[in-house]
Amino acid sequence: MEISSLQKARYAYTPKLPQMLRGGIAEINVLEGAETKSVADCEKIQALFPNTYGKKEIVFQKGQNTSTPKKQVVGVILSGGQAPGGHNVICGLYDALKSTNPENVLYGFKNGPIGLIEDNYVIFDDEYIDQYRNTGGFDIIGSGRTKLETNEQFAIVSEVCKKHGITAIVIIGGDDSNTNAAVLAEYFAANNTGVQVIGCPKTIDGDLKNEDIDCSFGFDTATKTYSEIIGNIERDANSAKKYWHFVKVMGRSASHVALECALKTQPNICLISEEVAAKKMSLSQIADYITDSVAERAARGMNFGVAVIPEGVVEFVPEFAILIAEINELLAGSKADAFNALPTWAEKYAFIENGLTKASMEVFAILPQGIQQQLFLERDPHGNVQVSLIESEKLFSALVADKLAARKKAGTYSGKFSPLHHFLGYEGRCAFPSNFDADYCYSLGYNAFMLIQYGYNGYLSKISNLSKPASEWVAGGMPITKMMNIERRHGEDKPVIKKALVELDGKPFKFFEANRETWAIETSYVYPGAIQYYGPSEVCDITTRTLALEKE
Ligand code: FBP
């Protein structure tokens, strides 16, 4: 297989471990801390997790390894969307497992959680693992979005574990996957299977964080990749001086990715969905906000700019959320067939006009026709509008164009407005992990094996103090139940790990808020450039602005 020279060089990179995990397995000792309780709804969570609730948090320290020698057969899965560094979690896990006992075995179950159900796996060896060290992607075993959540599935997984003599499962995933890891751990404990479950925090979205998780892996590399491109676009805009670029960035609901990119590149505009929701902003108000920047810059002779739009923003606009709910209702069940049978868009439009409330129709009417049609064409298997597919970058530029046309008519604006559109998402999810993600992920995997070796079940592999150099990172474990609360999901009360949205009183947002007025009018662009893998530590090893500000 042909490989790039960077890939070859990255094979030789040695990820940095926290000090307490360096120097060999024989010197890793465990220090137990206090018993834990969940962040909320303690009684309910305890009742749901009688065997795994309330366990002690732990940290590793240098000292005599006191774990019980035992042959370990571990299974690992990657779950959900790709995030840079996933391969290194598996490499760290493999290295720790093999250096503890060369007889230990690591199974990789393929294509996500479904691999455990279908008993579809590969057994790792050095040759296989070495092709994936410090590389991006999840192609080492593939990933998938099947959820492991029912007792029927758990019973199948138990059988698969029994068949291979598996002693532990490592689940690398986001908030839902780690929630399911806790449920599986409880099932294994309740049924005395002896199989342990350890979770690892993954997602480029950055919304899996709390007092125990500094950040999920992949966020650093993905935001550096998007910021490089945004910076390049800014420089192009500032060179050509003729385009307004509307850049949508991934991140599903939360705006951590958009905010981090804004902190790194200082664009003219960055919308933050959580603020839109808090201020109950309408589409028209958001468009006015962007239009003010376009008009003010035009008045100063700058008919160019850059606006960053978080992927999930429209869901946070209250009037838009109501519109979506009404459309879902309008097309529920067989009503969709009647709608689809209408031959022309004009007839469909009349059907819509008839079915929506006046308020929602007013919102619908201001949307560009392409977006209107998208709302009715792109529906998920349950018949619901797929909000994530809405091209919000085009929506906002069209709304701004309308506002500018009105201002031109009124004689208050005389600039030129030529918008261009970009969507940055998949480009960042499989990049070569930055040194930070390569080190963090390797440490997460290595540490996960230490938790297995010391017999922990239902724990999250926890590496903290991440704003400091890797040698000062702290390795340990936290019962997943500690991070859980009860939330209403699909009409039922469920124990889940809380998703972290951008906190409007948090330091990263406050910093952005304090500077954005200047950025909106002046050209304050910062060009971060490409991720650097080799060179001075302050260029290669520094993680996100978000984490630095949070830990200030
Ligand atoms: P995870 O939450 O599974 O990490 O996935 C995050 C994400 O990359 C979102 O940012 C994005 O909205 C979504 O996945 C895209 O999903 P898909 O890969 O299924 O198109």
Could you tell me the two tokens for 41?
Answer: 């709804």
Q: Which has more pLDDT, 388 or 64? A: 64
Closest CA to 393 of 309, 504, 273, 327: 309
pLDDT digits (tens, 9 = 90+) for 114-134: 999 999 999 999 999 999 999
Residue 490 has pLDDT above 80, yes or no: no
The question of whether 380 is a catalytic residue gets the answer: no
By the 10 Å C-beta count (0-12 exposed, 13-18 middle, 19+ buried), 397 is classed as buried
Contact between 420 and 244 under an 8 Å Cβ cutoff? The reply is yes
DSSP letter at 29 equals: E
- Residue closest to 465 by CA, chosen among 547, 536, 549: 547
Q: Indicate the burial class of 170 (C-beta count within 10 angstroms; 0-12, 13-18, 19 or more).
A: buried
From 95, 175, 176, 205, the catalytic residue: 205
Q: What digits encode the pLDDT tens for the residues 322-354? A: 999 999 888 887 888 889 899 999 999 999 999
Give the tens place of pLDDT for each residue, 421-472: 999 999 999 999 999 999 999 999 999 999 999 999 999 999 999 999 999 9
Which of 145, 172, 179, 204 is the best mutation target for the ligand 1 pocket, counting ligand atoms within 8 Å of the beta carbon and taking the most? 204
Instruction: Calculate the alpha carbon distances from 391 to 305, 368, 373, 429 in Å.
Output: 19, 11, 11, 20
Condensed to tens digits (0 to 9), the pLDDT of residues 285-306 reads 999 999 999 999 999 999 999 9
Q: Is 411 left (phi over 0), alpha (psi -120 to 50) or beta?
A: left
For residue 309, the one-letter residue type is I
Cβ of 201 below 6 Å from ligand 1: no
Residue 121: CB atoms within 10 A of its CB come to 18
For range 54-68, the mean pLDDT: 95
Count of beta carbons in the 10 Å neighbourhood of residue 98: 18
What percentage of the chain carries pLDDT values higher than 90? 89
pTM: 0.96
Are the beta carbons of 116 and 169 closer than 8 angstroms? yes
Q: Is 204 in the pocket of ligand 1 (CB under 6 A)?
A: yes
Across-strand partners of 168?
74, 196
Task: Determine which residue's CA is closest to atom 12 belonging to ligand 1.
Answer: 252
DSSP string, 342-363: --SHHHHHHHHHHHS-HHHHHH
Q: Is the pLDDT of residue 212 over 80?
A: yes
Residue 182 scores a pLDDT above 90: yes
What whole-number distance in Å separates Cα of residue 279 and Cα of residue 296? Answer: 23
Is 135 close to ligand 1, i.e. is its CB under 6 Å away?
no
Candidates 250, 261, 190; CA nearest to 223 is: 261
Tell me if 206 CB under 6 Å of ligand 1.
Answer: no
Q: Is the CB of 250 under 6 A from ligand 1?
A: yes
Phi, psi of 119 (to 5 degrees): 55, 45
Which structure tokens are listed for 463?
Answer: 């590496």
CA–centroid distance, 449 to ligand 1, in Å, is 27
